[in-house]
Structure 1
Amino acid sequence: MRIMNSRGVRTITAAVAVALIATGCSSERGNTGDDKGKKDTFVFGAPGDPASLDPALASDGESFRVTRQAFEALLEHESGGSKLVGGLAEKWESDADGKVWTFSLRKGVKFHDGEVLNAKAVCANYDHWFNWKGTYQSSAVTYYWQTIMGGFAKNEDKETPKPNYKSCTAKDENTAVIEVNEPSAQLPGGFSLQALAIHSPKAIEAYKSQEATAKGDAITYPKYSQEAGTVAGTGPYKITKWNKGNKEVSLEAFDGYWGEKAKVKNLVFRTLDTDDARRQALQAGDIDGYDLVAPADIKTLESAGFQVPTRDVFNILYLGMSQGKNPALKKPEVRQAIAHAIDRENLVKTQLPEGGKAATQFMPDTVAGFSEGVKKYPKDTAKAKELLAKAGASNLSIEFCYPTEVTRPYMPNPQDLFELMKADLEKVGMKITPKPMKWNPDYTDAVEAGGCALHLFGWTGDFNDGYNFIGTWFAEPDAQWGVKEDKVFSAVKAASLEPDISKRSDLYKKANEVIMDYLPGVPIASSPPAIAFGKNVNPPKVSPLTQENFAELSFK
């Protein structure tokens, strides 16, 4: 899943009103749903606003956190884990070549607008996405479709990838068959993404009458995706209101849900964009939970009786290098020197929550394809100085970008991480020029365009396949890195085309070894992000993919 991704994300504006953050009111804290005084509204403090109520047009975790409660995909992940299980499809299978995928749909499933789920509804979704035109073909708008299924029926830009989606056929009322042109490591995992969640056919027809528009790099979303009323999924909650002035999205339990009904009637996501604001709101009783708990706050909250479960590790923080921005980074000795200069263990010990691990490659050890045989670059100041001297770069001056106004699961405090890395690099003789930038859109745009010689970035996985990590950056040339090394691309590509999962995992191991031998950047750490809940809450199972199902929670 993307929690503000490292690729394909450009400036996106949706005419969002700017207002003071609402901090709750006594009427909400005392909200009752029946004469017994049972609380019926759960308020969650989110780190940021959603970008879209249509998950197909989103690539950020805050949008998906909301839409996941209202929309379901053909496949899902087991509650609290990363194993694929049936979603709207009870069963699924592919042919031996991995090109034909057959889904046996659940019966008796209804959308929020009363439409019935069937194979034709599934195909209406996939054909709708495949036939997008104009601004919808921008990778900033439809990142995940292009990542999983490639391009469109008629690509309008030569940079758009060739389509891999071929067709969707309703074999019978409850059997949908999706065909692709080439086997892909993105499948079946891609069928579980929120961006490919299934919408009501009636809603899709309404979507078609509206357009996304662009002015330069700025994207304006279609109106239906910016207000409740049109979007309709099959999930346990339905979206009822998006109050942008108060930075709140409201959902209500869907009485016609096919599975286990939500235990709390109303769900509110309220944006509180600083660690302190979220923590103080929980302590004051203005919210009932929040995400991305600062490591320093975990013990404070637990000692006061709050619940702070920690997710399993499924992310990576890395120090990126842009060879296009600073030619010195094209020299392997310089990249190796930077890797040897960084004290990863100290970063993990001082900046990350308990359970964090120093990284050896661009995926955590919880992902299939992790290799124990990659080349290691332990902290070694003397060796770093020696490598810089060998490269003729003993007094290298380099710009180091880092983000502000943001907290990410893999990066609790960007400035503190930056300061420690800066000190490490200066110890080996490098001259660092700091460049702090607002996370969205300035920083993400600059990184994507290769505008930051050194930069901090990361990733939280969407599903458990190695390609979802290393394929994100190293399947093809990417401006962020400026890498032009066919050995890297070929190794990742070979793994992506192998339909046998076991063989593919072995190929990922080899690809990781090739990547770390070349060393395009420095993997720093993986960490278990914490999420907090009130004393009176029975929390949902926490997900390593940050895919919590809020229908599971209840009040004590």
Structure 2
Amino acid sequence: MSVQRRLFATLAASVLAVSLTACATSERGSGGEGGGTFVFGAAGAPKNFDPIFNDDGESFRPARQMYDTLITYKQGSTELEPGLAEKWSSTPDGKVWTFNLRQGVKFHDGTDFDAAAVCANFDRWVNMKGAAAQSQMIYYGDVFEGFTRNEGDASGTPVYKSCQAKDANTAVLTLNKFKGAFPAAFGLTSLSISSPTALKQYDADAVTQSGDSFTYPAYANEHPTGTGPFKFESYDKANGVITLARNDQYWGEKAKVDKLIFKVIPDENARKQELAAGTIDGYDYPSPADYGTLKDQGDQVLIRKPFSVLYVGINTKNNPALRDLRVRQAIAYAIDRDSLVKTKMPEGTQVATQFMPDTVAGYAPDVVAYPHDVNKAKQLLAAAGQQNLTLNFYYPTEVTRPYMPNPADLFSAMSANLAEAGIKVNPVARPWNGGYKDDVQKAGKQDLHLLGWTGDYNDAGNFVGTFFGRPKAEFGQEDPAMYAELQKADSLPDPAGHAAAYQQANRDIMAKYLPAVPILTTGPAIVVKSNVQGVIPSPLTDERFVTVSKS
């Protein structure tokens, strides 16, 4: 999603900086249980504040402070724990899920959270149509595989069937088929529970579309209403400042600060400078090259556990040579992943042997390995008759991703590896939101490209299923056998069988298909000032600031 931020006058910027500095300074001594303000430097502006319509981290960051989900993720891990549901269970076939809900919970507008509210949200999502359905296709569409009207490119019967409020505190969700994503996917920020009253009052589904752009209604922009520890107060778009206030009626542990401010600062160096100046208290994705400097000036560099994968994608559509498995294997042998991890990435990064971290059930420790071996790469290319191969290698600019802190540096190292093996590289740089994603994911113009994924929840399907579970322009030629194998693995409700099937799929992906080359798995950092306590880095980048205080 593109992020556009209007530049504002120098005077306005000065006023904002002074006000935030004064706020931070005046409240430094009032942290702990006593309140204060926590100011976080956001890398981009949110698309809006209705979770179902979003698919990017900068939109989810404020949303997850204002909303709750039925199930949530234990802070600092991918483990599940109760959210709005105190307990949950399913039938053996995984098609019926029963949620025993917390009692006494209120939405921010004072209305009751209950089973009817849960069902109203699920029914809202499945019955969306037109622009509203198109706008929220990414997460809901992927997890539930379509809508009642099969809007957009969804086809067949959606996973969701119905929801029944058995009583005020019990919601029963019925699915048309088992889906391996559950129960973990019930914790997705996209599936946060909104106030049905506010949804109706502020016309939440009145989304309009013009070309590739969407316009969102009052609910999404001005009146987001959840049950979370912070409530929406204001969004100053001109100055890029989002202000949330503590919800004193929150059902759980109350937030320790009175105010939570997100200040949009797209440039990473500018975020670093504002941290040093004290106008913000923290920011995300500091450059690994800055870790030492930040620590030396007394800041806390909190490194997340690895839960992401960077890969080199291979598009077999345009260049017939890439349809030969031996050529794809040669590319894998040519890339020196150990050197990349040691010289280009932050501490904690690991070489990836497959397309998921080793903490996910379904990881196979015995996949075919592709250690750096230039001679092996040359032999495979010769056997395939491709000693003079030239490939268009796309890499993104104007972006920092958790798995790809400096795309240009990574590209340079990999292109040198490929050249050493005799593969000529034609570099093609495109801005991330200015052509790269369209060229790679929609048009499939590239031969090779850099891309990756940070997991949303702990299930194998969220990694290999997301990458290779269906045809994509990103990889070109279709491989029905691979799709069928992944769909079968995802359909098995028995946890042991589910994991075993994904283990075999991982073996086959690396030995028989190799649609891409896994490079590394890493955990990016989040940095905060020395006087900040309670920021718990999440491998899912799912930090909740309810625990944050300042001294």
Specify the TM-score bucket, using the shorter chain as the normaliser.
over 0.9
**TM superposition shift of 1:300:** 1.2
Residues 355-374 of structure 1: matches in 2 within 5 Å?
A: 355-374=348-367
Q: Provide the rounded CA distance (Å) in 1 between the counterparts of 2:27 and 2:352.
A: 53
2:78 to 76, 82, 95: 82
Q: Provide the rounded CA distance (Å) in 2 between the counterparts of 1:512 and 1:372.
A: 10
Q: Relative to structure 1, is the Cα distance of residues 283 and 94 closer, same or farther in structure 2, using a 3 angstrom cutoff?
A: same
Tell me which amino acid in the other structure corresponds to 1:476: R
Match of residue 27 from structure 1:
19
Q: Is 2:486 the counterpart of 1:502?
A: no
Q: Is the 8 A contact 1:312 1:528 kept in 2?
A: yes
Q: Is the 8 A contact 2:204 2:217 kept in 1?
A: no
Q: Is the 8 A contact 2:85 2:100 kept in 1?
A: yes
Tell me which amino acid in the other structure corresponds to 2:538: S
Q: Provide the rounded CA distance (Å) in 1 between the counterparts of 2:520 and 2:274.
A: 30
**TM superposition shift of 1:60:** 0.7
2:440 to 447, 457, 468: 447
Q: Provide the rounded CA distance (Å) in 2 between the counterparts of 1:342 and 1:266.
A: 47
Q: Is the 8 A contact 2:282 2:526 kept in 1?
A: yes
Q: Provide the rounded CA distance (Å) in 2 between the counterparts of 1:31 and 1:18.
A: 23
Mean alpha-carbon deviation: is it higher for 408-417 or for 386-395? 386-395
Match of residue 123 from structure 1:
119
Q: Is 2:460 the counterpart of 1:466?
A: yes
Q: Provide the rounded CA distance (Å) in 1 between the counterparts of 2:473 and 2:249.
A: 47
Offset from partner CA, 1:357-411 (integer Å, 9 cap, x none) = 1111001112121111111111111111121122222111111111111111111
Residues 132-531 of structure 1: matches in 2 within 5 Å?
A: 132-138=128-134, 141-157=136-152, 159-160=154-155, 162-208=157-203, 210-216=205-211, 218-224=212-218, 227-228=221-222, 230-449=223-442, 450-517=444-511, 518-531=513-526
Unaligned runs of 5+ in 2: none
SS of alignment partner, residue 31 of structure 1: helix
Q: Is the 8 A contact 2:203 2:219 kept in 1?
A: no
1:52 to 39, 48, 51: 48
Tell me which amino acid in the other structure corresponds to 2:142: T
**TM superposition shift of 1:137:** 2.4
Tell me which amino acid in the other structure corresponds to 1:146: G
Q: Provide the rounded CA distance (Å) in 2 between the counterparts of 1:503 and 1:112.
A: 43
Q: Is the 8 A contact 1:314 1:367 kept in 2?
A: no
Match of residue 109 from structure 1:
105
Q: Is the 8 A contact 2:243 2:259 kept in 1?
A: yes
Q: Is the 8 A contact 1:402 1:455 kept in 2?
A: yes
Aligned length: 542
SS of alignment partner, residue 92 of structure 1: strand
Match of residue 549 from structure 2:
554
Offset from partner CA, 1:50-103 (integer Å, 9 cap, x none) = 112111000111111110000111000111111111100000000010000000
Tell me which amino acid in the other structure corresponds to 1:475: G
Mean alpha-carbon deviation: is it higher for 537-546 or for 74-83? 537-546
Q: Is the 8 A contact 2:204 2:220 kept in 1?
A: no
Match of residue 6 from structure 1:
none
Q: Is the 8 A contact 2:100 2:170 kept in 1?
A: yes
Offset from partner CA, 1:29-68 (integer Å, 9 cap, x none) = 2327999952621111122221121110001111111100
Tell me which amino acid in the other structure corresponds to 1:496: D
**TM superposition shift of 1:210:** 4.9
Q: Is the 8 A contact 2:28 2:550 kept in 1?
A: no
Q: Relative to structure 1, is the Cα distance of residues 428 and 36 closer, same or farther in structure 2, using a 3 angstrom cutoff?
A: closer
Q: Is the 8 A contact 1:20 1:246 kept in 2?
A: no
SS of alignment partner, residue 114 of structure 1: coil
Q: Relative to structure 1, is the Cα distance of residues 524 and 237 closer, same or farther in structure 2, using a 3 angstrom cutoff?
A: same
Q: Provide the rounded CA distance (Å) in 1 between the counterparts of 2:81 and 2:167.
A: 22
SS of alignment partner, residue 271 of structure 2: helix
Q: Is the 8 A contact 2:204 2:219 kept in 1?
A: no
**TM superposition shift of 1:184:** 0.5
SS of alignment partner, residue 463 of structure 2: helix
Q: Is the 8 A contact 1:32 1:38 kept in 2?
A: no
Offset from partner CA, 1:503-523 (integer Å, 9 cap, x none) = 211111111011111110000
Q: Provide the rounded CA distance (Å) in 2 between the counterparts of 1:191 and 1:177.
A: 13
Offset from partner CA, 1:182-221 (integer Å, 9 cap, x none) = 00011111110010100001122135465323333x1213
Q: Provide the rounded CA distance (Å) in 1 between the counterparts of 2:219 and 2:322.
A: 42
Q: Relative to structure 1, is the Cα distance of residues 251 and 394 closer, same or farther in structure 2, using a 3 angstrom cutoff?
A: same
Q: Provide the rounded CA distance (Å) in 1 between the counterparts of 2:312 and 2:391.
A: 13
Q: Provide the rounded CA distance (Å) in 2 between the counterparts of 1:156 and 1:310.
A: 40
Q: Is 2:98 the counterpart of 1:99?
A: no
Q: Relative to structure 1, is the Cα distance of residues 250 and 128 closer, same or farther in structure 2, using a 3 angstrom cutoff?
A: same
**TM superposition shift of 1:16:** 5.8
Q: CA RMSD in A?
A: 2.0
Q: Provide the rounded CA distance (Å) in 2 between the counterparts of 1:469 and 1:550.
A: 27
The percentage of aligned residue pairs carrying the same residue is: 46
**TM superposition shift of 1:315:** 0.5
SS of alignment partner, residue 503 of structure 1: helix
SS of alignment partner, residue 335 of structure 1: helix
Offset from partner CA, 1:79-130 (integer Å, 9 cap, x none) = 1111111100000000010000000000111111111100000000000011
Q: Relative to structure 1, is the Cα distance of residues 240 and 441 closer, same or farther in structure 2, using a 3 angstrom cutoff?
A: farther
Q: Which has the higher helix share?
A: 2
Q: Relative to structure 1, is the Cα distance of residues 35 and 294 closer, same or farther in structure 2, using a 3 angstrom cutoff?
A: closer
Q: Relative to structure 1, is the Cα distance of residues 259 and 286 closer, same or farther in structure 2, using a 3 angstrom cutoff?
A: same
Q: Is the 8 A contact 1:401 1:454 kept in 2?
A: yes
**TM superposition shift of 1:18:** 4.5
**TM superposition shift of 1:355:** 1.1
Q: Provide the rounded CA distance (Å) in 2 between the counterparts of 1:16 and 1:151.
A: 32
Unaligned runs of 5+ in 1: 1-10
Offset from partner CA, 1:229-254 (integer Å, 9 cap, x none) = x2100000012212221122211111
Offset from partner CA, 1:454-502 (integer Å, 9 cap, x none) = 1111111111111110010211212211242233112211110111122
Q: Provide the rounded CA distance (Å) in 1 between the counterparts of 2:204 and 2:454.
A: 34
Q: Is the 8 A contact 1:41 1:264 kept in 2?
A: yes
Q: Is the 8 A contact 1:47 1:407 kept in 2?
A: no
**TM superposition shift of 1:20:** 7.0
Tell me which amino acid in the other structure corresponds to 1:123: C
Match of residue 538 from structure 1:
533
